[in-house]
Amino acid sequence: MARSKSRRARRSEAGLVPAPERWARGEVERLPSAIADEQGRPARPYRATDTLLVMERRGTITPAMRQAAEDFRAIFRAASLDPLRAADLHRVPSTGRGLELGARGGDAREKIWSALRALGGIQSPAGSCVWHVVGCEWTLKDWALREGWGGRPLGVETAAGILVAALGVLQGLYGL
């Protein structure tokens, strides 16, 4: 399926097509306008869509639920809980002491833990789903395969239901 999409894109844009690796990550869409790089040249105007955008377009979640998820994701990043981080190359290596989190990061972590308590904790299905799907940006399918009850993986439909319920709680928590 990805092969046919990439063939169509190559014919339509002549040089401005996503790499096959981008197509393999899931749905890719063309942006309304080109993005300029550092020198002002147009870059590839495509982006990979995430789970929340797809669910909103299908009508599974409301715009307010998506906004609650985006707010959670922003706080999650501010709390430095995102597992994918690059090393700061300007930092001088130390003797092994950890980095100070700072006041902003500490406040963000408090907000994350408060949201997770409202969802039933990190071990609850809702808390785990929001942590991994919204915070770490896993796909619902990946989370459903890794999580489960009694050693059995969840169905994607069940995982989607858990995410919808959790986003409803976040929406209420954030007052949206």
What is the pTM for the complete model shown? 0.70
Residue 12 pLDDT: 44
Residue 9 pLDDT: 43
Point out the residues of the chain with pLDDT beneath 70: 1-16, 18, 22, 25-26, 44, 48, 83-101, 149-150
Residue 95 pLDDT: 53
Residue 30 pLDDT: 72
In contact, 79 and 105? CB cutoff 8 Å = yes
Of 72, 135, 75, the closest CA to residue 109 belongs to 75
